[in-house]
Amino acid sequence: MGKNDRLTNRKPSRQAITAGPPPGAPVPGAPPEHAPRGRGMVWAWVLLAVVLLVVGLGTAAGVAWVTWERAPAGGGAAVPTKGGVNSARSMEEFWEKVERDAAARPRWKPEPWVPASADDRVIDRFAQLRGQADPAALAEMGPARAFPKHPVSQEEADAVQTDFLLRVNKLRVTRVLRGESDGRGGLKATPGRYTLQTKWTGEVPGVAVRTGDGVVPADERMVHNLDLVVDVRGGKVVGVRAEVPDWPW
């Protein structure tokens, strides 16, 4: 369509209707092999180049981080070697090395539990009664903590939920540890603090938590065999927080 035709709404001129095809369009009557290639072919080559680049980088990364020890064919001690993801057994050998390293690492073990102090005896009595499903264990605790209806700090939410767990009738205390987790698979001594390893699976009511960014809504949680960190205050067991077990033994 000519310029004047667009402005005056006149019918397209004959010249406009019979004008040649725009640049890049297939030439009528031309054999397919001589037809100009469209943008689809260009994008196909771009996609292929991206795929090859990603595969190449992934292989290089695999070679960089997958390192294991391979035993000589004739037997003997394993020797350090390097391999990549293109090796048939590379990942299998990698995980075998992880397991060997974990087994060789010295494991910390807690000291045997022997109640010595007055606080120790309170915890010991509570643990034994809990292990026997005896409701008398609740006498070793203070008044039950009510679940707050408004947002609270993370510390208070932890304490309320731990108090709830300590009162679950089917919860069993399987071990008493003096102190609390140090975050590295061991314990650190904290006066008046203990860790109770427990057995129980169930739901814990949620508590809304106030944070610097707003409020985390109260959602119920499904828990399984948590470690319960507790204090002894005034001769009573007080919940501090519940944790996923962090022990390698």
The answer to whether residue 247 scores a pLDDT higher than 70 is no
* pLDDT (0 to 100) of residue 52: 65
Separation of alpha carbons 178 and 117, rounded Å: 11
* pLDDT (0 to 100) of residue 80: 45
CA torsion 210-216-219-223 (nearest 10°) is -80
The secondary structure element, H or E, covering residue 176 is strand 172-178
Question: Per the domain annotation, does 218 fall within a domain?
Answer: yes
* pLDDT (0 to 100) of residue 107: 63
Question: Per the domain annotation, does 175 fall within a domain?
Answer: yes
pTM of whole model > 0.85?
Answer: no
How many structural domains comprise the chain?
1
Q: Which residues pair with 69 in a beta bridge?
A: 80
Dump the DSSP string for 84-153: -TTSTTHHHHHHHHHHHHHHHS----PPP----SHHHHHHHHHHHHHHTT-GGGGGGB-SPPPPPSS-B-
Question: Per the domain annotation, does 78 fall within a domain?
Answer: no
Tens-digit pLDDT profile for residues 75-106: 444 444 444 333 445 667 766 776 776 666 65
Q: What is the mean pLDDT of residues 106-116?
A: 80
Domain that includes residue 219, residue range: 118-243
Q: What percent of the chain has pLDDT over 90?
A: 44
Give the strand pairing for 214-216 and 180-181: unpaired
Question: Per the domain annotation, does 178 fall within a domain?
Answer: yes
Kindly state the tokens that stand for 119: 């606080």
Question: Per the domain annotation, does 40 fall within a domain?
Answer: no
Q: What is the CATH number of the domain that holds 171?
A: 3.10.450
Query: Mean pLDDT highest for which of 46-55, 87-96, 171-180?
Result: 171-180
* pLDDT (0 to 100) of residue 91: 65
Class of residue 200 by CB neighbours under 10 A (exposed 0-12, middle 13-18, buried 19+) = middle
Separation of alpha carbons 40 and 60, rounded Å: 30
The answer to whether residue 135 scores a pLDDT higher than 70 is yes
- More confident of the two residues 58 and 137: 137
Question: Per the domain annotation, does 86 fall within a domain?
Answer: no
Question: Per the domain annotation, does 53 fall within a domain?
Answer: no
Question: Per the domain annotation, does 43 fall within a domain?
Answer: no
